[in-house]
Structure 1
């Protein structure tokens, strides 16, 4: 007897082993609902970009992870995706966390030398408290990634979660547009202190909000590809589903343009193009007319939204050269910081404390520079070139695996393709901004990568049995 619960199929079992499996499926279903609710709420308090929200999120995710682990042990269940299934990723992330511990715990007198200045610290980190906070964030993301892997091993559930997260981002897009146009351009119904005239949603920074919207745009493009794939298999086009997706995508594009973020728009479009290219390659031969039709609809929607709502962002293209000059001066001094401590770094989360040692004209002294405006440079400044490259290697490894899955699979290739598009979006925007340093964006990024990667072990075992 089969019972359909929110798109998940649960089968009545006749044996003890199957009953345990059914119990684990129910537990994972509950966990999935909790994770979706958590991701809906996480961006609301200023993009979760405050230490108090880091602590709350760490407590919620850590507590949920402990409770989940205890229940699994009590039921004598095996994890759907074990850490041994992803040994390289696990080992690299553990090494990064271990180095962060070394930075703020090991009592080593350290002299930080800058032009005309030197500072002595009792640890390898110039700001051990900030390094501890960064470690908590890394551990939080690791536990969160592991939990999403568990609930996404069931690929039907993974597709449900992906659709739910798309509509979560759409809901935030609608709020952002209402806050800009109907609620007096406010931030959580309070007066904004930055980026007046630009959509910021619940974020303070328009570029961070733009990355959030771009994630939704890429995910929506992938869901459209998934709908077309199903239509190709059933030879019936679900018109209602396509129309709902187009409405959701329209809100996301409007919100993305309303941020007036140039790189956020470019990164979102780049990620969507990657998904569209993958979609055409996978289905173009089987359903060439349907593939062309969907691509034309997507391009037409993008052009229409650009004409109607893109003037503010397009006007800002004229100031690209001036913005580049400011960033180039900042990046030059950041690179000087990296060169002064290329192996050890200044300590996780320590840029704000360390940069004043190197801050000089032409970088404006009237502004507080608490971010590098490039996540790559931030990692190398704080952890050194070797350890700071670990997150980049982890994401690169996931991206390469997603490419393999998209190429090899005849089905269940859409979510790995979505993850690949998300990686492209995040990688491009992180070149010139710090959107992934906003915890809400980092949590969504982590979840979307796990959705694409989670089925890899199940797929490999199925191939071996065949």
Structure 2
């Protein structure tokens, strides 16, 4: 298959029917990913992994037959991809049965916990033990980590020109707009449903197709950022020389995709506010201000289009639209937040203590809910399957060396 030059990109790429088919399949996988509760349930993880593994296998087959090529973007991102694969391999090693002596040398606390469990059952210490305190959860996370690494690779390999980049960016905007519309209408109508059944938690606030409003807000923060990027890329700073040209440009703008994009951004802001997430809203509005300042500094000029865009975001979205949908409730939640009134228990000190015991090999990916109860000093109650702090959970579950590498690659 000869190489062709895409008019949107100066780089030579192989663009054929098979490549386009795989790209559309990639769009389908990305569109599906947030719908079943953020692909967190195990059945949803299985569907996601099946889609990614199938897509990767098809790409390898196409590459083997000469229908596809390795893109420059993948070559540049190869160190990160290799690092992600190595992390998935390490998580798989955590779930393997290893000789008890090796486990004792690498992770004395993991050996002690499993040996004590055997003693409680009046059994001898098994010949083979695990570095992970929850081997099954680590197996699931190893497979999921590999799937995400391959998804990262597929994006670099299949988004090969500016046209495809715009398409995947629009997919993010459409997905975010759908999440915001679905979550907002579900809450305002009183139906309180998720995509696959009634909402079990988070009633009274928008959660979209997610279980947790913070996950919902995190999704909207990402899609809003992509939407803002698309909008900035479409700004026209050329001044009109006459009223006739001004009205012509205005009419052209109203009939363009800018209006659809701007409407989608407004809907996502409403959904973000309806989620009532304190950190979600704080992160978005603060990042909006910081990004605006950095954009002006990098461009070294403040154009009329940029001024209109950011003023409209603050005035229309923040002051007008968001006020109708409960921005003041988010502000009140922030004002009431303090160490004394915060209902969420603080398990950071216990997590830090656990990191010291599993600093080299980690307690096993997905084992936080298994590991934490051993460090309960009576200062907190309840069930924690997550630390609500990635900077603590990653070192605990993966080990400090692997977490350091992850931080370096990011």
* Interval of TM-score (by shorter of Structure 1 and Structure 2): 0.7 to 0.9
1:167 CA displacement: 1.4
1:152 CA displacement: 2.0
Cα contact 1:185–1:192 (8 A) shared by 2: yes
| 1:348-367 correspondence runs (5 A) | 348-364=365-381, 367=382
| Greater Rg over alpha carbons, structure | 2
Q: 1:79 aligns to what SS in structure 2?
A: coil
Residue 250 (str. 1) matches residue 266 (str. 2): yes
CA distance, structure 2, for counterparts of residue 324 and residue 88 of structure 1: 45
Q: Which residue of 1 aligns with 2:352?
A: 335
CA distance, structure 1, for counterparts of residue 212 and residue 21 of structure 2: 33
Q: Which residue of 2 aligns with 1:107?
A: 98
> Could you tell me the TM-score, scaled by structure 2's length?
0.82
Q: Which residue of 1 aligns with 2:277?
A: 261
1:225 CA displacement: 0.6
Q: Which residue of 1 aligns with 2:148?
A: 141
Structure 2, unmatched stretches of 5+, are 1-5, 116-127, 241-248
Q: 2:380 aligns to what SS in structure 1?
A: coil
Q: Which residue of 1 aligns with 2:60?
A: 69
Q: 2:34 aligns to what SS in structure 1?
A: coil
- The equivalent position to 2:297 in structure 1, one of 263, 277, 281, is 281
1:329 CA displacement: 2.9
CA distance, structure 1, for counterparts of residue 294 and residue 19 of structure 2: 30
1:77 CA displacement: 3.8
CA distance, structure 2, for counterparts of residue 188 and residue 71 of structure 1: 35
Residue 232 (str. 1) matches residue 237 (str. 2): yes
Cα contact 1:97–1:138 (8 A) shared by 2: yes
> Could you tell me the TM-score, scaled by structure 1's length?
0.73
Cα distance change, pair 369–113 in 1 and its aligned pair in 2 (3 A): farther
* Higher mean C-alpha displacement, 263-272 vs 47-56: 263-272
Cα contact 1:221–1:275 (8 A) shared by 2: no
1:328 CA displacement: 6.8
CA distance, structure 2, for counterparts of residue 379 and residue 321 of structure 1: 26
Q: 2:148 aligns to what SS in structure 1?
A: helix
- The equivalent position to 1:175 in structure 2, one of 166, 173, 182, is 182
Cα distance change, pair 223–77 in 1 and its aligned pair in 2 (3 A): closer
Residue 387 (str. 1) matches residue 392 (str. 2): no
Residue 375 (str. 1) matches residue 390 (str. 2): yes
1:158 CA displacement: 0.4
| 1:12-411 correspondence runs (5 A) | 21-23=14-16, 26-75=17-66, 77-81=68-72, 84-105=75-96, 107-109=98-100, 110=103, 118-120=113-115, 122-182=129-189, 184-188=191-195, 190-228=197-235, 231-232=236-237, 239-240=253-254, 241-283=257-299, 285=301, 288-301=303-316, 302-309=318-325, 310-322=327-339, 329-364=346-381, 367-395=382-410
Name the count of aligned residue pairs: 372
Q: 1:85 aligns to what SS in structure 2?
A: helix
1:134 CA displacement: 0.9
Q: 1:389 aligns to what SS in structure 2?
A: helix
Q: Where is the helix percentage greater, Structure 1 or Structure 2? A: 1
Deviations 1:133-162 (A, max 9, x none): 111111111110111112222122102210
Cα contact 1:124–1:347 (8 A) shared by 2: yes
Cα contact 1:217–1:272 (8 A) shared by 2: no
Cα contact 1:211–1:268 (8 A) shared by 2: no
Cα distance change, pair 305–171 in 1 and its aligned pair in 2 (3 A): same
Deviations 1:440-466 (A, max 9, x none): xxxxxxxxxxxxxxxxxxxxxxxxxxx
CA distance, structure 2, for counterparts of residue 39 and residue 183 of structure 1: 29
RMSD of aligned residue pairs (Cα, Å): 2.7
Q: 2:202 aligns to what SS in structure 1?
A: coil
1:183 CA displacement: 5.0
User: Which structure has the higher relative contact order (CA within 8 Å, separation 6+)?
Assistant: 1
CA distance, structure 2, for counterparts of residue 337 and residue 44 of structure 1: 34
